[in-house]
Amino acid sequence: MTDDLAFADATALAALVRDGTVTPAELVDAAIARIETVNPALNAVIHPRFDAARDDAAGPLPDGPFRGVPFLVKDLDGSLAGAPLHMGNGALKAMGSVADHDSELIARLKRAGFVAVGKTNTPELGLLPTTEPRAYGPTRNPWHPGHSPGGSSGGSAAAVAAGLVPVAHAGDGGGSIRTPASHCGVVGLKPSRGRTTLGPDRGQAWDGLLQLHVLTRSVRDTAAVLDATAGPLRGDPYTAPPPVGPFGAEVGRDPGRLRIGIRTDTPSGLAAVDPRVVEAVEDAGRLLESLGHAVEPASPAGLDAAGLLEAFSTVLAGGVAFDIDALARMLGREVTADDVEPFTWMQYEVGRAITAGQYLEGVHVAHAWTRGVVAWWEDYDLLLTANTAEPAPRLGDIVDASFDPVHALERAVPFAAFTAPFNVTGQPAVSLPLWWTDDGIPVGVQLVADQYREDVLLRVAAQLERARPWADRRPPLPPA
């Protein structure tokens, strides 16, 4: 696989298939060769699906917009029929759990023409902002192998950044698309609540905190994939209102002069912000000003209101208790502390102690808090912040050698403080790779739009991509 082909986006690869320059089989073989060469240094792909992918590429493929383009599925939040489904958990790995159906999102990606070549690494049950599960070991950041790629979609982000595939499936319940996008220098959009479906297995997860999409190298891919996957599955409990037009049509459209608030400190002072992160956000603010936008220090006062952290923690822990019960059903037996990592078990014990009334009170607080926060967008178009309070940490920083759960919880806070509030509000938010540290670690910035306004996000994201392209930036990996 030539380096140029490895780092082409999905739109470009699909165009090569349509004009006959390459065949789907050639694209899939090239991706497999790249994975075989590069992945041993990364541990991003944990479940290869090479023979099945070759069979898929050789057979009739749907004539979708991404016909023949290889992609990867995160080993969480998405079932891929016939492939392992372990969710970063050692007990499921030992059992050899295999999915018997495609989740609807994966089915839609397949109908768009994508070919699944494997599954990517994830922390156990997606609970930590780093991908270092005990069951599969750490995924390494392509830019700096000693550093984390983020989590929980860290395997997917590392794979896209390293040129293994142009698109990889991802999910975000507290920053799990945006954090790895920031750490790995790729594009990560968390769509609006209800924009994509979690069906057929779930109507919602973590009381609506979790949304699904993909990680990509370009804004146009992010938009076009959303066109292919957005919309409810019959029976979904809620859905986002349909867009005015195709998301892909927003790429290149003039956003006009927007009023943008900028914030560099964490909500409620939850964590100190690294000066390099502050510099990245301020630099993005200057870039937006140079493009004609009005940028000023401003953010919703509600971000600092008391009660959110406790409400978020209650909903999350309750969700983990549900997930462990679901894990027990998959295993066919009761789950013990030996079946999961210490951090997972700690969250489970907290969740199991929460009463129904306490859980619903947490949901009520989150809903009331949301109304106070989103009102700010009546006067502003976008909010610009960091994604994380620190650049990518070293492996072993969040998950230490002892798997100490209290240490993990404390160290996770800086990597969720900016992102998790917008899982609560359900607003669309995107991480864009606009800045690198002096030693070459990506630091993405976050843009947040009003409810259901992915169109505004995509217009501005594409404008920033044109003004400061990142496509030629390549991590220091061996060519394949």
Residue 398 is classified by DSSP as S
Query: Reduced to 3 states, what is the DSSP secondary structure of residue 158?
Result: helix
pLDDT digits (tens, 9 = 90+) for 160-200: 999 999 999 999 999 999 999 999 999 999 999 999 999 99
**Can you give the pLDDT at residue 181?**
98
The reply to whether 299 belongs to the active site is no
176 is catalytic: yes
pLDDT of 268 reads 94
Tell me the per-residue pLDDT of 37-89, one tens digit each, with 9 for 90 and over: 999 999 999 999 999 999 999 999 999 999 999 999 999 988 999 999 999 99
pLDDT at 279 over 80: yes
Active-site residue, selected from the candidate residues 152, 156, 299, 431: 152
Q: How confident is the model at residue 2 (pLDDT cuts 50, 70, 90)?
A: low
Q: Which residues pair with 73 in a beta bridge?
A: 119
CA separation, residue 57 to residues 113, 167, 272, 318 (Å): 10, 17, 49, 42
Alpha-carbon distance of 293 to 281, in angstroms, equals 15
CA 234 to chain centre: 25
Q: What does the block give as tokens for 201?
A: 């297995």
DSSP H or E run through 294? strand 294-297
Residue with token string 């945006």:
178
CA distance 443 to 87: 27
Whole-angstrom distance, CA of residue 378 vs CA of residue 56 = 48
pLDDT in tens, 379-409: 999 999 999 999 999 999 999 999 999 999 9
Q: How many CA atoms lie within 13 A of 269 on its CB side?
A: 0
pLDDT surpasses 80 at 478: no
Output the pTM of the full model: 0.98
Name the residue ranges covered by the structural domains of the chain: 3-234+248-467
Of these residues, 103, 148, 156, 176, which one is catalytic? Answer: 176
Q: What pLDDT does residue 479 have?
A: 58
Record the tokens describing residue 244, joined without a space: 């005015």
Q: Give the dihedral of Cα atoms 165, 166, 171, 176; nearest 10 deg.
A: 90
Q: What is the mean pLDDT of residues 280-292?
A: 98
- Give yes or no for a contact between 92 and 133, defined as CB atoms under 8 angstroms apart: no
Q: Compute the distance between CA of residue 86 and CA of residue 464 in angstroms, rounded to an integer.
A: 38
Residue type at 143 in one-letter notation: W
CATH class of 3-234+248-467: alpha beta
Mean per-residue pLDDT over the chain, rounded: 97
Give the sheet arrangement for strand 259-262, strand by strand: 45-48, 115-120, 70-74, 167-172, 211-216, 187-190, 429-432, 445-449, 382-386, 259-262, 294-297
In what helix (H) or strand (E) does residue 93 lie, and over which residues does it extend?
helix 90-95
Reply yes or no: is the peptide bond before residue 200 cis, omega within 30 of 0. Answer: yes
CA-only gyration radius of the chain, Å: 21
Tens of pLDDT, residues 337-370: 999 999 999 999 999 999 999 999 999 999 999 9
Q: Is 74 a catalytic residue?
A: yes
Residue 1 pLDDT: 47
